[in-house]
Each structure stands twice: as C-alpha cells, then as structure tokens.
Amino acid sequence: MGRNGGAMDDMGVDAEYRGVRRTPRARRVLVATALVCAAVAAVPQAAWADPAPPQRSLEDVRKEVESLYRKAEAATDEYNAADEQAKLQEKNVSGLARKVADAEKRRQEIEDRIGELARSQYRSGGLAPSARLFLAPSPDDFLAALDSTRRGQDATRRLLAETESVKEELGRYAKAADERWKRLKEERKKKEAAKKEIESRLDAAKKLESRLEDKERERLRKLEEEKARQAQQQWLASDAVKGLSLKNSTGSATDIGRRAVEFATAQMGKDYVWGAVGPDTYDCSGLTSRAWATAGHPIPRTSQEQWRQLPKVEVKDMRPGDLIIYFSDASHVAMYIGDGTMVHAPRPGRQVTLAGAGSMPILGVVRPG
C-alpha cells in the first residue's frame, strides 16, 4: 500500500506519492522501457583492445644488438680459454700414456731378467750360489765363483730396486693421468656451456635483426658507424692520447711488429667466426694471436690472457703491432697499426676491417714484443 493507502503500481512505485496518476497505457510504456533498459544492461560491453606496444627506436635495437653480441663475444673468450686448456690436458694425457707404456715395458723387461736368473739357477741344479762357491774344485775356481756370486747378487739387488722404482713410477703416472682426465672433462664441460651461451646470444641477435626491413638494416649499420665515429672523436680529444703521434707512425714499429701488422691487415675482408684462428675466418683474438705467431712470436690465444700475461704500455706510447684491449672484461682485442687506427675482427656478420682505435671503450694496451 502507498503512503495514503493507495495500491502500488506495476513498477513498485506509489503513483500517488509521485503526484502523477498514470493511465494503463502509460504504465505499459513504462514497463516496456524498463525491460529494454534491462536487456541492454545485460549485454556484455565490448572489450577494449590493448594498445599496441610502442614502436622501438632503431637506437634501442642497436643497443640491444650490441649487448647481445658483446655477451656472445665474452662467451667466445671463455670458449677459447676452455679449448686451449682442453688441448693442453689432451697433450698431457697423451704424454702420460706414453710414459706409462714405457714404464710398463721396462717392468716387463725386468721381470724377464729376473725370470732368466731363476732359470739359470734351476739349470745349475738348484744350488744356492754360496753352496756352489764352497764346492769349487780349486782356489782359482773359488775366487772366480766368488766374483761371479757377488756380481749376481749385485745384479739381483739392482733388478729388485729397479722393479720397485718402476712400480712407484707407474703409480705416479696413473694418479697424474687420472687428474688430467678429470681436468679434461671439466674443460670440455666449460666449452660446451660457453658454446650454448654463444649460440643463444647470436640467435637472439640475428632474430632481432631479421625483423628489420632492408632499409632499416642499412640505417642500423650507419648508426653503428656513426656511434663509432663519435667515440673516436671523443677519444682523440681526450687526455688519454696526449703525446701519441697521430702522424704516420709505422716507422716506430719493430721489425716483428711490422710483420704482425702486415699479416693482420692482409686478412681484411675475411669473415668473423667465433672460435676461428684462420686462415679463412677469425674471431678477434684469433686474428691477433695468429698475426703474432706468424711474425715469429707466439702469444696467448684469448684476449683476456693477452691482457693478463703481456707487458702493459700507456696509450700515449702505443706503436704499431701493440694490442688494444677493450671493455672492462677484456673481451675484445684489436691491433694498433698507427695513425690512431686499429685492425680487428669486429663481430659475427662483419669482416676483418680497420676502425678508429678509440671507437670502443679501451681497457688498456699490451705489447707482445
């Protein structure tokens, strides 16, 4: 009932309270309108599509590609180091195997000689040397037998001592060989892990570059070149190069340094391949180590070992043939050729080329010889 005792209308609203007396037709219109509104409210609203992700700038792509290749190059250095150690351990194991074989051969020879002594004693009737000595028919025979007995005893002692020595030697070799095999397995595991890391990073970089159109790839290359040019200009204007002659300085190189430079520059145009040391493809340290080895002065294989083992010189004192080590982890290396320029194997997808010596962050400079 309504406030004044009137009946509620069809919509549950007291018409008298509203101050409006509705006709039956008006009430039907109201009901129909309410049903339509309810039906519209029951229909789910169309879902709004998520906004498209923002377009990545070519500079962002360049930075990510560079980061991926840098990580791949660091893993390449780890692979090269593990490969060098594996080769060393294989050589050690092979050398130990030869020593074991030689010692085993000596042991067999000693056993044969001991067997011969035993057979000789058997042929003499099985008498001990001392017994035969006292049965000598004459003093001369006695003295001869005495000398022979002493020589036999000395020979026997030497054979026994040699037998023990060979047994100890075999034991040492066996232990050393076991250790070498363990190290070899560890280095092979390191190589495999580094290989997976390299391939993973390279695949990611290639996929990223493959999404670019041909024009964008060309723009990306030019952007890389521009960044390198800017870095070179900043380096040339820095205090680090004060005192460095930027004129033709090949005359300051040693003979062996010039030979190394000549070899490295002769490789220009050859593809970068990780783990390669020539003659048709190179990675960065493969190029520098091969150049110096060809010049007659072998150096460590990896850029990190080149940085760790070779004598360091100041940037301002660089001369052609010196090696420039880049990045804080010493993961890249190039050869200085004079005039503020270096030759290097940059990264996968690139070839051995010339570039500004300051186009990347320099960790330091080393001099092979």
Quick check: is 344 catalytic?
yes
Predicted local confidence at residue 337, as pLDDT: 95
**37 labelled catalytic:** no
- Indicate the pTM of the whole model: 0.65
Which CATH code fits 58-199? Answer: 1.10.287
Task: Of 27, 33, 26, give the one whose Cα is nearest residue 10.
Answer: 27
Kindly name the residue from 284, 335, 343, 363 that is annotated as catalytic: 284
What is the CATH code for 212-366? Answer: 3.90.1720.10
d(C-alpha 111, C-alpha 160), whole Å? 9
- Per-residue confidence (pLDDT) for residue 250, from 0 to 100: 57
Catalytic residue among 83, 332, 358, 368: 332
Q: Write out the chain's pLDDT in tens, 369 residues.
A: 444 444 444 444 344 434 444 455 545 544 444 444 444 444 444 444 444 445 668 888 888 988 999 899 999 999 999 988 888 888 877 777 777 777 777 777 777 776 776 666 555 554 455 555 555 566 555 555 555 556 656 666 676 677 777 777 777 777 877 887 888 889 889 889 999 999 999 999 989 888 888 888 888 889 889 999 999 999 999 988 887 877 655 557 899 999 999 999 999 999 999 999 999 999 999 999 999 999 999 999 999 999 999 999 999 999 999 999 999 999 999 999 999 999 999 999 899 999 999 999 999 999 998
Q: Taking the domains of the chain in order of start, what are their residue ranges? A: 1-41, 58-199, 212-366
297 is known as an active-site residue = no
Distance CA 78, CA 212 (A): 31
Residue-level pLDDT at 131:
54
For the record, the structure tokens of 141 come out as 């025979």
Catalytic residue among 187, 344, 363, 368: 344
Q: What local confidence, expressed as pLDDT, does residue 220 receive?
A: 87
